[in-house]
């Protein structure tokens, strides 16, 4: 079963354990950014309390499982979020060429966050927020 934390992070219950899962290759808007709530709501609609397939790719430095998540209908959740314009292909970790194509198509159509002429990527938003608080940004640009 799945609980949605935000547009790119899930909590999946497996064998009595909760596993923090980060969707592979994407970065959804952060809380406080335009489209953050829409991204979270879309992720909830797709995955909450559903049985999903988790294809583990790696573990990140925050202890999260980075994975490809396949929805009950067979769709790749990362692809769907990017296609809907509710997440970026992560410039550092989104090496899947299909993510690049889907993002370009969403940009061209002006869907979701691409309705804004210059949307701020989450990694830039986090860096600016940390700088304005006078803190080091250890997680900026990370998955």
Domain spans of the chain, in order of start: 2-125
First to last CA, the chain: 23
User: In this predicted structure, what is the pLDDT of residue 143?
Assistant: 41
Q: Decide yes or no: CATH 2.40.50.90 for domain 2-125.
A: yes
Catalytic residues: 22, 30, 64
Write down the pTM of the prediction: 0.89
Q: What is the mean pLDDT of each run of 10 residues along the chain (143 residues)?
A: 91 91 96 96 95 93 94 97 97 87 97 95 90 66 48
Residue 119, CA distances (Å) to 36, 49, 103, 125 in order: 12, 31, 13, 10
User: In this predicted structure, what is the pLDDT of residue 129?
Assistant: 87
């Amino acid at each position: 079963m799945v609980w949605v934390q935000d547009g790119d992070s899930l909590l999946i219950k497996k064998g009595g354990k909760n596993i923090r899962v980060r969707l592979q290759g994407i970065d959804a808007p952060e809380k406080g950014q335009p489209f953050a709530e829409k991204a979270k709501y879309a992720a909830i609609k797709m995955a909450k309390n559903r049985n999903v397939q988790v294809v583990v790719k790696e573990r990140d430095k925050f202890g999260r499982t980075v994975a490809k998540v396949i929805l009950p209908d067979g769709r790749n959740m990362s692809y769907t979020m990017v296609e809907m314009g509710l997440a970026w292909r992560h410039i550092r970790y989104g090496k899947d060429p299909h993510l690049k194509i889907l993002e370009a198509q969403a940009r061209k159509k002006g869907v979701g966050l691409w309705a804004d002429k210059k949307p701020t990527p989450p990694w830039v938003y986090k860096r600016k927020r940390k700088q304005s608080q006078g803190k080091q940004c250890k997680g900026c640009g990370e998955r």
